[in-house]
Structure 1
Amino acid sequence: MEAETATASRRQWIAKVLSSALRLWLKTQVEQIADLQVEVQSGDRRLLSGVIQQVSLSAQQVVYQGLHLTQLNLVAANIRVNLGQVLRGKPLRILEPIPITGSVCIQVTDLNASLQTPLLAEAVTAFLGTLLNQPPHPLEQGVQPLSIAAVADLSLRQLQVEIAGDRVILQGLLNNAGEEIPVELETGLTLRSPQELQLTHLRWLAAPGLDPGVSRMQSRHFSIDLGSEVELHQLRLESGVIHCQAKLTVIP
C-alpha cells in the first residue's frame, strides 16, 4: 500500500513538473499567447519512461510565426520528451514528431493582423497576380482581359479581409506598373481535400482594367496546397469568424 502511494505521489510530481516544463516550452515556440491551460495525462509506466500519453491544451490570442489565432483547443498524444534532463532542471525537448488534433477559431481581426506579415502579404500579392492573368469566365466572352504588370513587379498595401456569411472578400491597393489601383475579390472557401483549400465562384469586384461598378467572374476554381503535415477535417465560415477542425504533425 505504501509503495503504491509512493508511486502515485511520484507520478503526480512528475506530471506537475512536466506540465510546467511544457508551458515554458510552448511559450518559447510562439510570439504571444494568453490564457494558456495545460493538462498532462499518462499512466505510471509510460510517464516514468518519458512518454506523455496525452496533453490537452487551450489558449487564446496566440501568435505563431506571424499567424494570429483567436482561440485554440488541442490534444497531443504519445509525446516523448527528455524526462531525465527535465527532472534535473533542464529545458524540455520534444524527441519525436507528435500528432496534434483539435479546433482553431480565427476572428477576422486576427486574420487581418496575420496578413500584415511580409510572408503572407507577398503570398497574397503573388496569388492575386496569378488570378489577374487568368482569362474571364466563359460566359463573359468578348470582355477584355485585365491588364497588369509582371507578377514580380506587383505590390499590395492596405490589405484587408472581410467574412460575410460563407463568402470571403479580399481588398487592397495594388501597385501596377507605378499606378495604384483598388482591387477587391469575393470568393467562397471550402475543403477540396484534407490537404487542399478550394476557392470557389471567384468574382472580381474591382481590378485593373475593370470599369467601376462592373464585376467579373473567374473561369475556374483555385486550390491551395496546405502541405502533407496538415489535415483539415472541417472548415466553417460565419460572419467575421473562421472555424476549423484540424490534425497536424509537429516536427521537433
Structure 2
Amino acid sequence: MPENHVPKKGLNRIRIITNVLTTAVKLWLRSQVSQVSDLQVEIKASDRQLLSGCIPWVSIFANHAIYQDLHLTQIKLAAENIQVNIGQILKGKPLQLMHVVPVNGELIIDETDLNSSLSSELLSTALNDLLDLLLPEYCAKSKPIIWQKIILAHQQVKLNAILTSTSEPIPLEISLDLDLLSGQQLQLSQIRVEQNQVTLIESSDPYNVDLGSDVDIQELKLIPGQLVCRGRLNVNP
C-alpha cells in the first residue's frame, strides 16, 4: 500500500473534521458582528494542518457589517498561522484563538455609515477623548454632549455636537486636518473649534494621538464622504 494512501474511512473522517472546522470559523466570525449583509471566507490549509488546529491562511470579505454598533461599509482581511482549539471544536464547543493573530486588511467606511455609528460606545468614547484633548474644560464626563454629525472632506474631519449641560443647548463645531504620522500615531492639525459661531480655538499647532502597539496603519485616506484605512491589527484571544 502506498505511503500516502489513506483508507476511504479515514478520508471521510478527515472531510468531516475539515467541514466542522470551516463551519466553526464562519460561526465565530458571524458571532463577532451583530449584522452582516455579505460574508465570504476562504481558508487555505491541508487536511493535516486543519487536524492539528492550524489554519495557515484565511481571508475574509464582508459588506455592511456592524461591530459593537460601528457600521463598517466594507472589510477585507487576511491572516496567517492561526491556531485554534481543535479538540474542543470537535466536541461541539465554540472556536477560540489560542494566541494573538496579526490581521492585515482594508477598512472602508462611508460617511453615512460613520454617522450611523455615533451611538457606538467605541466611537463616542473616541470623540469624547478628542474633545477632552482640545478643550479639557468641556470634558464630556462633566458636561454631557450629543454628537450629531460627522462630515468627511479631503484629509479633513468636521464634527457637529450639542452641549446639553445648560438650560439652553449649545452647538459646538470642530474642524481639523487628520494625517498619518506613523503606524501608531495620528496627527491633528489646523484645528478650529466654534461655539455658537464664536471661535474658541484656532490653531495650526499639531496634536499627536497614540493608537497603541496593537495597531500598525500603513495608509489612512480621507476623501469627501469616505474613510479608507489599510494596515495591521492584532486580534487578541
What TM-score comes out, normalization by structure 1 length?
A: 0.81
> How far did 1:203 drift?
2.0
Aligned to 2:108: 105
Aligned to 2:97: 94
Is 1:207 the counterpart of 2:209 in the alignment?
A: no
Please list the CA deviations of residues 56-91 of structure 1 after superposition, one character each: whole Å capped at 9, or x if unmatched: 111111222232211101011111112233234332
> How far did 1:118 drift?
4.0
Is 1:231 the counterpart of 2:234 in the alignment?
A: no
- Aligned in 2, Cα 1:21/1:118: closer, same or farther, shift over 3 Å? closer
Is 1:3 the counterpart of 2:1 in the alignment?
A: no
Contact 1:149 1:177 in 2 (8 A): no
Aligned to 1:32: 35
- 2:61 pairs, out of 58, 62, 84, with 58
More divergent stretch after superposition (39-48 vs 98-107):
39-48
SS class of match (1:33): coil
Identity percentage over the alignment?
Answer: 38
Aligned to 2:163: 174
> How far did 1:106 drift?
0.6
Please list the CA deviations of residues 132-171 of structure 1 after superposition, one character each: whole Å capped at 9, or x if unmatched: 35xxxxxxxxxxxxxx666642222252101123321111
Contact 2:155 2:179 in 1 (8 A): no
Contact 1:40 1:54 in 2 (8 A): yes
Aligned pairs, number: 234
Distance 2:91 2:165 in 1: 59
Unmatched 5+ residue regions in structure 2?
none
Distance 1:42 1:50 in 2: 10
- Aligned in 2, Cα 1:178/1:132: closer, same or farther, shift over 3 Å? farther
Opposite residue 93 of structure 1, the aligned amino acid is Q
> How far did 1:31 drift?
1.9
Aligned to 2:184: 195
Opposite residue 89 of structure 2, the aligned amino acid is V
